[in-house]
A and B are shown apart, each in its own frame.
Chain A
Amino acid sequence: MVPFAWIILVSILLFALGAIALITRRNAVAALMGVELMLNAANLNFVAAWRYYYPDHLDAQVAVLLVITIAAAEAAVGLAIILNLYRRFGTVDLDQIRLMRG
C-alpha cells in the first residue's frame, strides 16, 4: 500500500493549491472554489487517517459526511452572495471591490 505520508503530502498539496487559488484568482467564484478545494483536502486527510490507522472508528467517516453537507451549504450561500455582488458592482473581480479600506 502507498505510505500514509504520501497521502498526507497529497492532501497538503491540495490544500496549498486551494490557498494559492484563493490568493491568485481575482474571480470571486474561483476564490470560493479554492476554499472548497481546501475543505476537500481536509476530507482526504480524514479518510486516509481512518483507512490507515483507525479503521475501527467511524469518527472520520461521520466527519467527512458532515463536511460535505456543510460545504454544500456554504457554497450555496456563497454563490447567492456573489450573485448579489455582481448585481451591485457589475463585476465579480475581487480587486475592484474595495470601497472600504484604511
Chain B
Amino acid sequence: MFSLLWLAPTLPLAGFLILATVGARLPRRVNTALGVGSVGLAALVSLLLAAAWAAAPPGAYTQTLWTWLHVGTFAPGITFYLDPLALVMLLVVTGVGFLIHVYAAWYMQDDPSIRRFFAYMNLFVAMMVVLVLADNLPLLYLGWEGVGLCSYLLIGFWYREPGNVKAAMKAFLITRIGDTALIIGLFLLFAQLGTVQIQALLAAAPGLTPAAATWAAALLLGGAVGKSAQLPLQTWLPDAMAGPTPVSALIHAATMVTAGVYLIARMHGIFTQAPGVMTAVAVIGAVTMLMAACSALAQRDLKRVLAYSTMSQVGMMFMALGVGAWTAAIFHFMTHAFFKALLFLGAGVVIHALGGEQDVTKMGGLRKTLPGVYWALLIGALSLAGFPFVTAGFYSKDAILYLSWTAARGAPWLWALGWFTAFLTAVYAFRMIFLVFHGPAVQAHPVRDARVSVPLGILAVLSVIGGFVLLPRVLGGFAPFAAFLRPVLPEPPQRDGGIFEVVLLAASAVASLGGIGVAYLLFARRRTTSPDAGLARFWRQGWGFDALYDRLVVHPYLWLAQECRHDVVDAFYHGLADVCLMLNGWLSALQNGRVRWYAGALVAGAVLLLALLVWR
C-alpha cells in the first residue's frame, strides 16, 4: 500500500504536464476535470496511505525512485520519506488543496485561460507535495523553489494588470531573499555534516559546534521567514492578493506560507541545538502576529484582512515553534488550514456575488442573500476567533498559548502577547462578519452551486471537529494527534499545569469572547467603518459612556490603523532596489561606446593588478 506514495506528487505533476502540452486541444470541461481530478486522486492516495498507516504504522516509510547524482558523500535521490509529520502535511495539502480545486472549477468557470490556471495550480500542489515528502535537502529545495515559482505565476495570473505583475514580482523576489539564506544554510549543513539526508542530518545534529548550529539554524530561519511572510520579509503577502481567490486560499491555507512552519518543524533537531535562534523564532513570531493582527483591524479590503490574519496566525505558529511546542504548531497549522481555506473561499463567493467589490465598508446585510455562505463564514470566523469549546481554532490556539507560558522556553510575556493577539483576532474576525453580513443590505446576486457548497460544507465541519484530536488535560486530555506525532516531534519540557491550566484556558476563552463583544459594540451596533467616519460620528453623538470607551479602544485603534496601513519595512526594500538601480545607472554610463575609453580601462586594469602585485 505504501508503495503508492510516489503517486502523490506524480499525479498533480502529470496533470500539469498534460494541461501544459496537449491541453490546448482538449475542451474546457476536460481541462477542468483533469485539473481537479489529478489533485482529487492525490488526495485519495493520501487517504489510502493514512488508512494503511492506521492499520499498521510502519514508523517511517522511504521510497527511492532514482538517485539523482552521486558525488562523494553527496548522493541525493528522488526519494520520498513518509512519517507522521509528513503524513499530516500531505493530508492537509492534498485534501484542502482538492477542495480548493473543486471550488476553483466554479470560480474560474468563465475565465478564458482556465487551462493555464489549472496547470499552474496542479504544479503548485505537486511542488508542495515534493517539499513535504522530500527525504533530502536538494529535493526539499526543489519543492521550495517550485512553490515559489508557481506562486509567482499564479499571483501574476491576470498579468494584463501591471499591478498584478508587480505584486507577483515582489512576492517572488522577497521570498528569494529568504531562499538565498536557505540555500546557504543547506550548503552549510552539508559542509558540516557531510550528508544531505534529512534524517541522517537530524541524527548527526548534536555533533554540530554551537557556532555552526546557530548559523545553520539562523539561515534556515531566514528561508522560513521569507516563505511564511514573517518579519522582516512579510511585505509580499498582502500584495499577493492580486491573484484569483482560490490561489489566495491555496497559498494561505494549505501550502506556501506554511512551508516555513513545516521546514522548522522538520529540521527541529538543528534548532534545538541553537537556543538563541529558537528565541529569535519565538520573538519574530510574536511580533509578527501582533503587528499583523493590528494591520488586519485597519484593512478595508476583505482579502487583505484575511491576508494579514494569515500572517498573524502563522506568527503564532512560529511562536509555538520557538518555545519548542512543535506539535501545537502543527496542530494549529492544520486547524488554520481548515478555517482559513473556508474563510477565503467564502470571501471569494462574497466578492463574486457583489460583482468584484472587495471593500468591506461597502458591504453589509448579506446574511439574507447568501445564507449558506454566512453560516460558513461565521463558523470560519468563530474558529479563527477561537470561540471556546466548540471550535477547532480554540483548541489549537489554546495549546499554543498554554505552552507559550508553561513550556521551559516559554515566558509570561510571550503568553501576554499571544493573548492580546487572540483578542485582536476575535475583534477583526467579527468586524469582518458584522460589516459584511449585518447592517443595511446591499445588492447581491445569490450563489447556488454544488462546487461551492460542498467544499464550504466540508471545511466548515472540519473547522469545528478538527480540534477534538488534541484536548487540553483539564478537558480529559484526549490527544491522539500528539500521540501520533510523538515519534517525530518531542513534547517540550514544561512546568506542571494543574489549576494554572484551567486559568489559562479561561483566559483564552475570555480573549475570544471579549474580542467578539468588542467587535459587536464597534461594528455591529455602530458600524465604525473607516477611521475618520467613525470618529466624526462618535463626537457628533457624544455618548458619555462611549466616550471613555472610545478613548481606550477607538483612539489606539485609529492610531494603529494609521501606523499599520503602510509597512515600514517596505521602504527598506524599495531603498535597496533604488540603490541597485543607481549603481546600474553609473555602471551603464561607463559603457559609453568609445573604444579609446575601453582601451584605457583595459590598460588601467592591468596597471591596477600590477600595482597590487608590487605592493603586496
Contact = CB atoms under 8 A, between A and B. Distances in A.
Contact of B592 (A26, A94, A101): A101
A98 interface: yes
A26 B593 contact: no
A65 to B, nearest CB: 26
Contact of B599 (A23, A100, A101, A102): A23
Interface string B583-616: 0000010011111100110010000000000000
Contacts of B603: 19, 22-23
A95 B596 contact: yes
Contacts of B591: 101-102
A17 to B, nearest CB: 12
A86 B599 CA distance: 21
Contacts of A23: 596, 599-600, 603
Nearest to B592: A101
B588 A97 contact: no
A101 B600 CA distance: 16
Nearest to B597: A23
Contact of B588 (A19, A98, A99, A102): A102
A11 to B, nearest CB: 15
A101 B593 contact: yes
A12 to B, nearest CB: 11
Contacts of B594: 94-95, 98, 101
Nearest to B601: A23
A94 B593 contact: no
Interface in B536-595: 588, 591-595
Interface in A62-102: 94-95, 97-102
A63 to B, nearest CB: 21
Interface size class of B (residues with CB under 8 A): 10 to 19
A18 B321 CA distance: 68
Contacts of B599: 19, 22-23, 31
A20 B595 CA distance: 13
Contacts of A24: 596
Contacts of A26: 596
Interface residues of A, number: 14
Given A19-B603, A23-B600, A23-B603, A94 B588 contact: no
Interface in B357-375: none
B599 to A, nearest CB: 5
Contacts of B600: 23
A100 B599 CA distance: 16
Contacts of B596: 22-24, 26, 31, 94-95
Contact of B593 (A19, A31, A98): A98
Nearest to B595: A94
A91 to B, nearest CB: 13
A26 B593 CA distance: 14
Nearest to B606: A19
Nearest to B604: A23
Nearest to A28: B595
Contacts of A95: 594, 596
Nearest to A35: B599
Interface in B228-249: none
B584 to A, nearest CB: 11
A13 to B, nearest CB: 14
A31 B593 CA distance: 16
A53 B373 CA distance: 95
A31 B603 CA distance: 14
A73 to B, nearest CB: 21
Contacts of B588: 102
Residue with the greatest number of chain A CB neighbours at <10 A, chosen from B591, B592, B599, B603: B599
A95 B594 CA distance: 6
A95 B592 CA distance: 10
Nearest to B589: A102
A99 B593 contact: yes
A100 B595 contact: no
A97 B595 CA distance: 8
A61 to B, nearest CB: 27
A101 B588 CA distance: 8
A98 B272 CA distance: 61
A87 B593 CA distance: 20
A1 B593 CA distance: 48
Contacts of B592: 98, 101
A82 to B, nearest CB: 12
A56 B209 CA distance: 60
Contacts of A99: 593
Interface in B56-84: none
B588 to A, nearest CB: 6
B610 to A, nearest CB: 11
Interface string B268-311: 00000000000000000000000000000000000000000000
A101 B592 CA distance: 5
A23 B593 CA distance: 14
A94 B594 CA distance: 7
19 contacts: A19-B599, A19-B603, A23-B596, A23-B599, A24-B596, A31-B595, A31-B596, A31-B599, A94-B594, A94-B596, A97-B595, A98-B592, A98-B594, A98-B595, A100-B593, A101-B591, A102-B588, A102-B591, A102-B593
Given A19-B599, A23-B603, 19 more contacts: A19-B603, A22-B596, A22-B599, A22-B603, A26-B596, A31-B596, A31-B599, A94-B595, A94-B596, A95-B594, A95-B596, A97-B595, A98-B592, A98-B593, A98-B595, A100-B593, A101-B591, A101-B593, A102-B588
Interface of A: 19, 22-24, 26, 31, 94-95, 97-102
Instruction: Return the 3 tightest CB-CB contacts between A and B, nearest first.
Output: A101-B593, A98-B593, A23-B600
